[in-house]
Structure 1
Amino acid sequence: MSACVSAVAAPAWAHGLEPIAVEFRLLGNDAAVEAIAWRRGDEIYAAAETLRALGISASTNQSEPSPLSDIAGLSYRFVEADQAVEITCASACFAHQRVRAADPEMTPLQVGVGGFLNADLVATYADEGGGQVSGAFDLGLFRPGGRGAIAWLMGAEAGALIRLDTAWTFDRPNARQSVRLGDALAPATASGAAFRFAGVQWGTEFAVDPSFVPFPLPTFSGEAAAPSVVDLYINGALQTRQRVDAGPFDLTDTPVIAGGGVAQLVVTDALGRQQNVTAPFYASPSLLRAGLTDFSVAAGATRRNFARASFDYGDAFALGAYRHGVTDWLTAEARLEVSGGASLVGAGLALARPTLGEVNVRVAHSETRLGDGQSLGMGWAWQGARFSFAIDAETTSDDFSRLGQEDTARRRAQGTIGWALGRYGALSLAAASQETTAFERVETWSLGFAPPAGRLGALAINALHVDDGEQAFTTASVTFVRPLGRRGSASTAVQSDADGISVRARAQRATPAEGGWGWRIGAAQGETRRWEAAAALRARAFEARLEAAHAAGADGLRGQFESALVWIDGATMIARPIRDSFALVDVGVAQIGVLHDRRLIGRTDQHGRLLVTGLRSYDQNRLGVSLDDLPIEASIAQDEVAVRTGARSGVRVDFAVAEGRAGEVRIVDENNDALPEGAVLVRDTDLARFPIGGDGRAYLSAVVGISTLVAEAYACRVVVTSQALDEVEPLRCVR
């Protein structure tokens, strides 16, 4: 009988290689990895995963070890006595790093179930016209996954109600998309206009992800010979600081201002050695990141006489708009409109370069029953820290037509120039010319100068000239604004025009965010005399303002009242008008200060609740409570939470405030010896910590019912009840 011997066959690359267990040491980086190496003569081979663990560039698809001598920029020596491989690596052999300058962590989206009804009532009275009452109403409904809205106006005539919008919206934050059913607004693009319609719309919605920047942010590259700190300066101001390992790196998603500028990278290693890299950049919100797509598809009927008629719709239509980032410096777009005997197709390109600025070109062709038409436009802009300019021109043929634009300008041109003059202030010049299909032409010129005014305030000098072909007028003004405290300001303006010289003065104070009074007073002297006064109140459940004015011998009054009925997750209350997102904060204790982004926004009512309005939809909002307002016997698990909710939606935020008794107790061990000073007791119910002072005494708060305290580092427990706070005898901590 023959004997059979089985063995695992070695891979082909292992023939002639001797496996050895070594320690790889990367000199200068304090990096070491214990791994299997292979040796053939004086050559050392290492696996790809070993190289990557050291931060050395290695192919992710490589299955066999590489000879170290084949890696560019790497030298090594084998220390036989230590069974170690000491590696010296130039920057070329390190793996390329991509470091994000900004990577915010977003909390999960939270949306409650509920709704709100906004009411905005306005009453006016004038000597000549008498009194009138009008209003606007806005009903919003929301739940996880969608939200609805119905808005209407109440005219001055009794019973005159006009519907504005009716829609249900499904937002998809993870896909940065939105679907809307009902009344909507078609997007404006380079070759098409925005217009109102009723139907269905699906498209990109970057607003549902505020942490994402859709336009390309500059990437700055550098090299570090050793682990270092990288400081990024934009136009001389520090923007971010990041740590990098040795080797080449790319700093991506850097926060920069729109326009052109100069970036400086300062790389500092542990020994304080620095290297500087300077590079120009240009960031344009008109572009999309490479590979990113922005689209919108809509179909329905165009809306006519918005805010004047409830159900006045025009022809049916279908629309598609598409933008795509071809590269980080070039974005292309296309648009197609089809509507009842009319159609439009358009295209455009936009590019931005540090040495050129922004350039855009767009073309469009339309076909209607009246004929075909074309449109051609282009623009060029540069926005810098000290100098900016923008020019844009568009020409169209007589029969060109766009959805949403009944009177398209035949020719239009405009330009602006701005200079930052340093200690001399700032200067701006603007000009515009437009000619309509009716051959009406309007030209406008404006000049602005803002000299420095120091701590006194702000000074502005402006001039305006308008010529419509039939008549022309020119005005010039000087305005000075001085701040008054945190929320107030006073201004004075002198204006000269064809009617003579007029002088205006105004002082005002804004209502505080947490609630309170605001006011405004003003007067003008010129061709006519005018004075005005206004008071505003922001209360817990409403906002109100009253205005009075006198001009040309006539008096007028205007009063406005805004409030909202809100219901969310079973709770109903009256609150300030809901204009975006909101949160119902429930503390459970009355008169506790509530903070929004660490700024006092109001105090809880008698039920311990406060409706916080003005949250940024889909963005991270920090809500907290003022610990100084809590009773001393109360405890709270956390005094601040991060909240993120949808547009025109609400969320309920409960702060677990536990009320109970508070008092001092004395803790002893099983030998009746006081627990030493510095020991810490941890409560099992809420993990609250209580330090022990002299003679084993500890002050306990929020004691409710029965709980157990564990003495850290002493492995003993003490049972505490609210009645124990009244006892004279010490509490025993037993094992």
Structure 2
Amino acid sequence: MADAARGRRHPRGPLQEPGQCAHGRPRPATCIGLGRAPGRPSGCTCRGAGRAGAALDPPLAQRRCRGPDGGCAGRPRPSTPDHSPLMPRRWLAVRIAALACWAVLGAGPVWAQARGQDRILILDVTVNGQRLNGAQEVGQSADGRWSLPSALWTELRWLAPQALVSEGPLAGHAWLDQMPGVQLAFDAERQSLTIMAPANAFATYHLGSGDQTALAPGASGTGAYANYELQAGHSNGHTAWTGGVELVGFAPGTRLTGSAYYRDQAQGGGRWVRLDTGVEFSDAPRMRSLRLGDQITSAGLWGRPARIGGIGIGTRFAMQPDFVPFALPTLRGEAVLPSTIDVLVNQNRVTSGQVPAGPFEWNQLPALTGRGDLRLSVTDLMGRKTEIVQPYLVSDQLLRPGLVDFAVEAGRVREDYGYHSGRYGRHVLLGQYRRGIAEQLTAELRLESLSDQRTAGAGLAWKVGGWGLMQATAAASERDGQDGHAGSVGLDVPGRAASLQLRSARSSRFFAQLGADNPDAASRSTDRVGVLVPWSHGGIGLTWVARRYWNADPQRFWILSASAAFGTRFFLSAYLQSAHFETRQRTVGVNLVVPLEPHTQAWAQASRSSGQTTGGLGWISSLPPGPGWAHRLFAETDEHLAARLERRGASADWRADLDVRDGQAYVGSGVSGSLVLLGGQLRLARRIEGSFALVKVGDVAGVPVYRDQHEVGVTGADGVIVLNDLRPYQSNRIHVDPNDLPMDAVFEHLQLKLSPALGAGVYADLGVRRVQPMTLRLLGPGGQAVPPGTVLQVSGLAAERTVGYDGKLFEPDGSPDRVYTGSVAGRPCRFRAPVAPAPGEPDAPVPVHCEETSP
């Protein structure tokens, strides 16, 4: 009987098993059906069930449609005779329905058995306004509860359900009514289920939570370069020469450096002084380096940098400038519908993104420091906008939680740097460890051990609420049996309306540390107060410093300054300062700067100090990124005149100087540049600062090359240019304008993004080449033209060419020395294109004979 009931006709089509379509064949993934209503009388039509948008869910509708015996609850039989020819059509329909119900009364026991069963439906599902792709499997219990498979539950990013169905057809499903606040709407006619889940039902969506330490390292070729500088000056009948040289060799992950300086001696003659020599091995992905040779030690919160010769290993966040080591604010919010969010920092839009429904976090905001307001604007699919304002305080002294910054250095202290080539003093061992404890707290430990002294200390930096940053350090030392100690506290209160900085440090008479070797300059106390009140086009600031020494007179200094910009026309600043060293001296001054054109400005200044008034005028321009001129000219009332003229060329920079003071004149000139070896090519270039690239634009000369929209030079006769001053480890966009290329030039790409390592160079080819269209006339083994329609394979390319009439084959880009293979008249042939058309006949077909090959 159950099988018979399934086979009867249903008003919406025959009932089918959950895995079958209406025609009885297995249901495909895109098949959407009502599903099987177990045991339902196939001839029963229930009023109110199946209407579009009906609020009555199907099981309840079925119970209302069933009679007490499990059959149809049809209307009462009318009193009109059954066989009356005048019976109205509506009564006829009622009789037909009643007969159908009577016909299936035998199915009553099967229907009653199905009432306690669950079923699976295949429906269109929409969650929080977003329709899911394809039909979904949805469960419905006999008492009207709805469920979804746990896999779909996870895919929707809902929080883990409290319990799953363990048996029956809905095993592995989770009931939707265990989600507080969920709203459901079932449309039987459209076979769809709409779910509106609360935002707190979703797992938090994280934006920008990728591991930045996995960034690709900077590229590096293998080569070398030598920076040089030479200057000659003449004054008082004497000519002096100075110069310097820096030698750098590089390979992937390795950089070798050496530098020296030459100067004339006052008593005649000259000598070279070695400056730095060392090698560095870099691990950019892990942001670590190993240095051997001359180097500068780390400082930390309370230490001092010093030059040593030895070995050092530690972190170097500068290897990845896109990596932000300090803790950034995290934006948190929630969206009921999928939304677009915009982030504004102090009313300036900095980024945007898409978020799905549910709570979200954005913890990789653009790098910013100081104090201000973050404004989050959330716009959902319905166009409704919500704004969240969150204050922030960011400092580069606070490391991200769990991030470690360390350094271990050992060697000997460098003495008389710049005067002696190899004078080293005491042995030193230094260790420093910084760690981000939390977003609001960073701790530091530092140890220094020298031949005759030892120093140890610690430091803390922590955020005070959302308005300030505190610092505190403490250190103790021992030298020659004498103990010392030092400590400091500080408070920074940045803000948009005003900023405050307070510092206070104290140290005992015998406190010793690396980099503080002059007993006469030993500080007893240092106090500092700084206040800044900015406005839209300037600001006013006050700085006060007081310092006391153990073996010298105290010093006090303060300065009050103010500045204002009047549009783009001019910039005005004034200051008043007082310095109390051995004597008290007060100075008042004013400066006026007038921009004239890009890279050029005029200025005027006047000041009065110790009863004397001075003033000056100046006209200054700076060098452009590419070739060009620059000048500097200023004159002062105290008989001082200075002028400089500079020229930036393709391979060097030149300058000439004139300085006249108190009737004495100095005249000088200088040149600086670099000699570069990369990719087997030796080139002259401007002085290399940072990183560089050797860029080839085919063999086309005179093509302007741009870096980030600024022209930096033109290619030489062989189409090559050396680009210096590239930003290490960052993306440098190098490109050319296609309008600057000749008409017969083709290219693979017009721009490249280069990320060279520090102090290294890379070779880049834009793939530009000049071509000449060529028509070939292919001749077969017998000397006749290859038949039209013959298909030939192009060697080295996954491409084919079809021969035209009279054996002609047109190649728009010339393609010199290209080889074609194929069968001609049943014989294998190879055709080799010539390097260039015949001289004087660029448009004439070039005959190419078949070279027979073995099959």
Is the TM-score greater than 0.5? yes
Aligned-partner residue type, residue 401 of structure 1: A
TM-aligned CA deviation for residue 439 of structure 1: 3.3
Could you tell me which residue of structure 1 aligns to residue 755 of structure 2? 644
Could you tell me which residue of structure 2 aligns to residue 29 of structure 1? 130
Could you tell me which residue of structure 2 aligns to residue 268 of structure 1? 379
Could you tell me which residue of structure 1 aligns to residue 523 of structure 2? 409
CA deviation map 1:559-617 (0-9, x unaligned): 22111111012111111111110000111211111111232110011121111000001
Give the direction of change, closer, same or farther, for the CA distance of 1:204–1:19 in structure 2 (3 Å limit). Answer: farther
Q: Select which of 564, 578, 587 maps to 1:475.
A: 587
Aligned residue pairs, count? 678
Q: How far apart, in 2, do the equivalents of 1:467 and 1:351 lie?
A: 34
1:447 matched to 2:575? The reply is no
Give the direction of change, closer, same or farther, for the CA distance of 1:61–1:524 in structure 2 (3 Å limit). Answer: farther
Q: How far apart, in 1, do the equivalents of 2:409 and 2:162 lie?
A: 45
Q: How far apart, in 2, do the equivalents of 1:207 and 1:357 lie?
A: 26
Q: Select which of 190, 198, 201 maps to 1:90.
A: 198
- Contiguous gaps of at least 5 residues in structure 1: 1-15, 666-671, 673-682, 689-698, 710-718, 730-735
Q: Compare 450-459 and 178-187 and name the one that shifted more.
A: 450-459
Give the TM-score normalised by the residue count of structure 1. 0.86
TM-aligned CA deviation for residue 75 of structure 1: 3.5
SS state at 1:345 partner: strand
Q: How far apart, in 1, do the equivalents of 2:198 and 2:659 lie?
A: 77
1:491 matched to 2:603? The reply is yes
CA deviation map 1:334-385 (0-9, x unaligned): 1011111311111011012453311100110111114111111011012222
SS state at 1:331 partner: strand
Over aligned residues, Cα RMSD in angstroms?
Answer: 3.2
TM-aligned CA deviation for residue 93 of structure 1: 1.1
Q: Select which of 535, 541, 547 maps to 1:434.
A: 547
Give the direction of change, closer, same or farther, for the CA distance of 1:397–1:106 in structure 2 (3 Å limit). Answer: closer
Q: Select which of 120, 130, 133 maps to 1:20.
A: 120
Q: How far apart, in 1, do the equivalents of 2:708 and 2:493 lie?
A: 35
Q: Is the 8 A contact 1:21 1:34 kept in 2?
A: no
Aligned-partner residue type, residue 490 of structure 1: A
Aligned-partner residue type, residue 151 of structure 2: E
Could you tell me which residue of structure 1 aligns to residue 511 of structure 2? 400
Q: How far apart, in 1, do the equivalents of 2:767 and 2:155 lie?
A: 45
SS state at 1:705 partner: coil
SS state at 1:51 partner: helix
Q: Select which of 514, 517, 521 maps to 2:633.
A: 521
Give the direction of change, closer, same or farther, for the CA distance of 1:131–1:546 in structure 2 (3 Å limit). Answer: same
SS state at 2:375 partner: strand
Q: How far apart, in 1, do the equivalents of 2:612 and 2:163 lie?
A: 81
Structure with the higher fraction of residues in strand conformation? 1
1:618 matched to 2:729? The reply is yes
Q: Select which of 643, 652, 671 maps to 1:561.
A: 671
Could you tell me which residue of structure 2 aligns to residue 694 of structure 1? none
Aligned-partner residue type, residue 90 of structure 1: P
Higher RCO (CA 8 Å, separation ≥ 6 residues): 1
Q: Is the 8 A contact 1:138 1:149 kept in 2?
A: yes
TM-aligned CA deviation for residue 256 of structure 1: 5.2
SS state at 1:661 partner: coil
Q: How far apart, in 1, do the equivalents of 2:384 and 2:609 lie?
A: 63
Could you tell me which residue of structure 2 aligns to residue 251 of structure 1? 362
TM-aligned CA deviation for residue 539 of structure 1: 0.9
Could you tell me which residue of structure 1 aligns to residue 410 of structure 2? 299
Could you tell me which residue of structure 1 aligns to residue 26 of structure 2? none
TM-aligned CA deviation for residue 153 of structure 1: 1.0
Q: How far apart, in 1, do the equivalents of 2:745 and 2:639 lie?
A: 60
Q: Is the 8 A contact 2:321 2:729 kept in 1?
A: yes
Q: How far apart, in 1, do the equivalents of 2:255 and 2:157 lie?
A: 49
Give the direction of change, closer, same or farther, for the CA distance of 1:103–1:546 in structure 2 (3 Å limit). Answer: farther
Could you tell me which residue of structure 2 aligns to residue 5 of structure 1? none
SS state at 2:264 partner: coil
Q: Select which of 305, 326, 341 maps to 1:215.
A: 326
Q: Select which of 50, 68, 93 maps to 2:152.
A: 50
Give the direction of change, closer, same or farther, for the CA distance of 1:573–1:59 in structure 2 (3 Å limit). Answer: farther
Q: Is the 8 A contact 1:32 1:54 kept in 2?
A: no
Could you tell me which residue of structure 1 aligns to residue 313 of structure 2? 202
Q: How far apart, in 1, do the equivalents of 2:190 and 2:565 lie?
A: 71
TM-aligned CA deviation for residue 706 of structure 1: 7.4
SS state at 1:439 partner: coil
1:726 matched to 2:833? The reply is no
Q: Is the 8 A contact 1:19 1:36 kept in 2?
A: no
TM-aligned CA deviation for residue 76 of structure 1: 3.2
CA deviation map 1:644-702 (0-9, x unaligned): 1111100011121121115999xxxxxx9xxxxxxxxxx999999xxxxxxxxxx9864
Q: How far apart, in 2, do the equivalents of 1:114 and 1:61 lie?
A: 65
Give the direction of change, closer, same or farther, for the CA distance of 1:571–1:25 in structure 2 (3 Å limit). Answer: same
Q: Is the 8 A contact 1:581 1:617 kept in 2?
A: yes
Could you tell me which residue of structure 2 aligns to residue 317 of structure 1? 428
Q: Is the 8 A contact 1:101 1:254 kept in 2?
A: no
Q: Percent identity?
A: 27
CA deviation map 1:391-436 (0-9, x unaligned): 111100001011111143211111210112447x411100111122
Could you tell me which residue of structure 1 aligns to residue 44 of structure 2? none
Aligned-partner residue type, residue 30 of structure 1: R
Q: Compare 571-580 and 47-56 and name the one that shifted more.
A: 47-56
Give the greater-gyration-radius structure (CA).
Answer: 2
Give the TM-score normalised by the residue count of structure 2. 0.74
TM-aligned CA deviation for residue 20 of structure 1: 2.9
CA deviation map 1:127-166 (0-9, x unaligned): 27x2211111111010012101001111213351111111
Could you tell me which residue of structure 2 aligns to residue 571 of structure 1? 681
Q: How far apart, in 2, do the equivalents of 1:429 and 1:61 lie?
A: 65
TM-aligned CA deviation for residue 22 of structure 1: 3.2
Aligned-partner residue type, residue 367 of structure 1: E
Q: How far apart, in 2, do the equivalents of 1:530 and 1:518 lie?
A: 21
Q: How far apart, in 1, do the equivalents of 2:163 and 2:677 lie?
A: 58
- 1:160-171 superposed matches below 5 A: 160-171=271-282
Q: How far apart, in 2, do the equivalents of 1:209 and 1:109 lie?
A: 8
Q: How far apart, in 2, do the equivalents of 1:19 and 1:313 lie?
A: 86
Q: Select which of 364, 378, 398 maps to 1:287.
A: 398
SS state at 1:595 partner: strand
Q: How far apart, in 2, do the equivalents of 1:460 and 1:686 lie?
A: 67
SS state at 1:52 partner: helix
Aligned-partner residue type, residue 89 of structure 1: A
1:242 matched to 2:353? The reply is yes
Q: Is the 8 A contact 1:200 1:299 kept in 2?
A: yes
Aligned-partner residue type, residue 507 of structure 1: W
Could you tell me which residue of structure 1 aligns to residue 617 of structure 2? 505
Q: Is the 8 A contact 2:215 2:285 kept in 1?
A: no
Q: How far apart, in 1, do the equivalents of 2:440 and 2:593 lie?
A: 41
Q: Compare 303-312 and 155-164 and name the one that shifted more.
A: 155-164
SS state at 2:130 partner: coil
Could you tell me which residue of structure 2 aligns to residue 589 of structure 1? 700
Aligned-partner residue type, residue 585 of structure 2: F
Q: How far apart, in 1, do the equivalents of 2:473 and 2:738 lie?
A: 58
Aligned-partner residue type, residue 455 of structure 1: T
